């Protein structure tokens, strides 16, 4: 057998690698579809459009936002799972939605862990423990003590059974023993007046919709549920500071791709996405929406996925919460 020189071996390796390298360098060579699994005008849609605009500029390629709302964001997610893993269909969605979804939606056609790969955490909405001003509790510990001393007397407003606001309360109950009566509404806007006027007393909700009323004293925020204090409410303690370490919750905005998208494309998307999230104009726009920009490595966002899935699975299973 003839000997192969090192130069011949390197040349042969380069020939084999050339097609895949060319493919990676060619991406993106056409329009990208960015799925937003909620209707136009909402938080996910707004973040998706602002983020897509920044990515589009940096990749020099058109990105079309495709709203596919319905069924707790699972219709859009199913569309992503069916898409070719070529980097031309992506989605901005919530890890929390897809951690909760298997317990409240029958016959899902996708599995977040098996079908998606998280690319970048774009940001998180600030969630706070909100109480009506007439409630005597001025801190989280006073709220817990009052609820335990008066089991079922306090009512807790949510945006619907099985949603994040409902599960925030369930997590608090499981961690502290604070018993309240759950009152589900169709959404935040439907319970705001009742919360401010004391017909319901408590909610653990995204603070954005309540910020003007917090400032006006119409509702009190006792704590935020993020790891760090929120720039929106810098004087409000975290739940850990308020005496409930381990209680963490946030509305989430993550860039996802189909699982089998090439590592080169994933890397390019993470790098480009981080450039967008670091942009001063983008950050200012997000903070005005009550969203704290995140960013970071792909390894960091991938590590969050099993944590979120376990967090909400434990809450649902421990509370024996089943579809109504």
Does residue 46 carry a pLDDT above 70?
yes
Say how far apart CA 177 and CA 114 lie, in whole Å: 35
Cβ–Cβ < 8 Å for 263, 271: no
Find the mean pLDDT for residues 44-49.
Answer: 94
Indicate the pTM of the whole model.
Answer: 0.85
DSSP string covering 170-221: HHHHHHH----EEEE-SSHHHHHHHHHHTSS-EEEEEGGGGHHHHHTTSSEE
pLDDT in tens, 94-105: 999 999 999 988
Structural tokens at position 182: 């759950």
Find the mean pLDDT for residues 243-257.
Answer: 96
**Domains, the chain, ordered by start:** 9-124+251-318 (3.40.190.150), 127-224 (3.40.190.10)
pLDDT in tens, 168-179: 999 999 999 999
């Amino acid at each position: 057998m003839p000997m192969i020189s090192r130069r011949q071996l390197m040349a042969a390796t380069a020939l084999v690698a050339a097609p895949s390298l060319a493919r990676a360098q060619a991406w993106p060579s056409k329009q990208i579809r960015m799925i937003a699994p909620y209707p136009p005008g909402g938080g996910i849609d707004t973040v998706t459009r602002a983020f897509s605009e920044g990515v589009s500029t940096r990749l020099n390629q058109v990105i079309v936002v495709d709203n596919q709302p319905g069924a707790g964001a699972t219709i859009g997610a199913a569309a992503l799972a069916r898409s070719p893993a070529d980097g031309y269909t992506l989605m901005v969605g919530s890890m929390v939605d897809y951690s909760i979804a298997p317990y409240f939606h029958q016959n899902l056609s996708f599995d977040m862990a098996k079908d998606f790969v998280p690319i970048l955490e774009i940001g998180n909405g600030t969630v706070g423990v909100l109480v009506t001003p007439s409630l005597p509790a001025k801190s989280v510990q006073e709220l817990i003590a009052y609820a335990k001393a008066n089991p079922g007397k306090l009512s807790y407003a949510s945006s619907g059974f099985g949603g994040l606001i409902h599960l925030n309360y369930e997590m608090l109950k499981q961690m502290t023993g604070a018993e309240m009566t759950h009152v589900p509404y169709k959404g935040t806007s439907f319970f705001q007046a009742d919360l401010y006027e004391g017909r319901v007393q408590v909610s653990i909700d995204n603070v954005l919709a309540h910020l003007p009323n917090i400032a006006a004293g119409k509702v009190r925020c006792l704590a935020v549920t993020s790891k760090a204090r929120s720039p929106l409410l810098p004087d409000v303690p975290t739940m850990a500071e308020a005496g409930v370490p381990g209680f963490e919750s946030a509305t989430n905005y993550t860039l996802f791709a189909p699982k089998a998208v090439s590592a080169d494309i994933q890397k390019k998307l993470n790098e480009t996405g981080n450039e967008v999230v670091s942009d001063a104009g983008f950050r200012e726009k997000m903070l005005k929406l009550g969203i704290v920009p995140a960013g970071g490595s792909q390894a960091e966002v991938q590590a969050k996925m099993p944590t979120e899935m376990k967090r909400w699975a434990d809450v649902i299973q421990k509370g024996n919460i089943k579809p109504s």
